[in-house]
Amino acid sequence: MRDRQGHGVKLSAYDFGATTYFALQADQRVSYCLYVPQDYEEDGDKTYSLAVLMHGTGRTATAYRDGFADFADANDCILLAPLFPAGLIEKNDVSNYKRLAFHDMRFDLLLLAMVDEVAAKYRVRADRFLMFGFSGGGHFVHRFFYVHPERVLGVSIGAPGSVTLLNWDYDWWVGLRDFEARFGRPIDLAAMRRAAVQMVIGGDDTETWEIVTKPTDPGWMDGADLAGGNRQERLRSLRDSFERHGIAVRHDIVPGLGHEGTRAPMLEPVKAFFADTLAKRRAEAA
């Protein structure tokens, strides 16, 4: 929703509030929408924080964007919600972005290109940003965190169906044995320890029909069941993996909710985590 009328010098009325989708200029196969706080002034001097909200398999990007609009207005934060469509390259594929690399596409780098595009348009602090992803988005954000920890101020990992552990006994995506060969850089544990980390899940999120794989399935690889049999077990395994390497984790379990990422009770602890993380950055800068 846009509360203002008329256009600015370089920004139009469509560049404020809940925006339309913009094709990424570096690769127009993907796009993003924004929420720009109502008090943003084109000729002002206030710098805003940035939060990336990564959709799940259902691609409900605007639902996450709209669900965090109150947080954005209250905390001087621009929201970036990517849209990585299903059916890119492979007609029936719905999981392309979850493990970062897919055919010729590197979805982590596409996200960074989106961040650069937003930073060129708005006064936004884009060197380190907040991230939240639920379900398929949870897949993406914790793996993005592995590759680009220096860009992450705080990451909230919501109920991923599969996880990549800090384990060097297995190849990607189960573990990290071939990580450097795949991504051209080693895991930077020191940078990961500098970021705030939350893991969040509904207390009743125990269904397994969507996430169980067998050795006969196309996506199976050695160690695919290493982290446990359901999302609760897998998130705990990820938490334990982080903590064994000195990465502090805030683990929130939302009572009475299943696998329901856009519900307000699921978003509230994430907003609280984001607010705490931004407050800590302000305090450190004072």
- Domain ranges within the chain, ordered by starting residue: 17-285
Token pair recorded at residue 191: 């940078």
Which CATH topology does 17-285 take? Rossmann fold (3.40.50)
CA distance 143 to 103: 17
pLDDT tier for residue 7 given thresholds of 50, 70 and 90: low
pLDDT at 1 over 50: no
Please tell me the total number of residues recorded for the chain in this structure: 286
**Which of the 8 DSSP states describes residue 150?**
G
Interhelix angle 136-147/107-121, rounded to 10 degrees, is 80
Scored b (16 or more CB within 10 A) or e, 173-185 reads bbbbeebeebbee
Q: Are 11 and 41 in contact (CB under 8 A)?
A: no
Backbone dihedral angles phi then psi of residue 217, each to the nearest 5 degrees: -80, 150
Per-residue pLDDT tens digits for 54-112 = 999 999 999 999 999 999 999 999 999 999 999 999 999 999 999 999 999 999 999 99
Which residues have a Cβ under 8 Å from the Cβ of 240 and sit 6 or more positions away? none
pLDDT tier for residue 35 given thresholds of 50, 70 and 90: very high
Chain mean pLDDT for the chain = 96
- How far the first Cα of the chain sits from its last, in Å, is 34
For the entire predicted model, the pTM comes to 0.96
Per-residue pLDDT tens digits for 213-268 = 888 887 789 999 999 999 999 999 999 999 999 999 999 999 999 999 999 999 99
In Å, what is the CA distance from 188 to each residue of 46, 113, 143, 162, 271? 32, 21, 13, 22, 27
Distance of CA 20 to the CA centre of its chain: 20
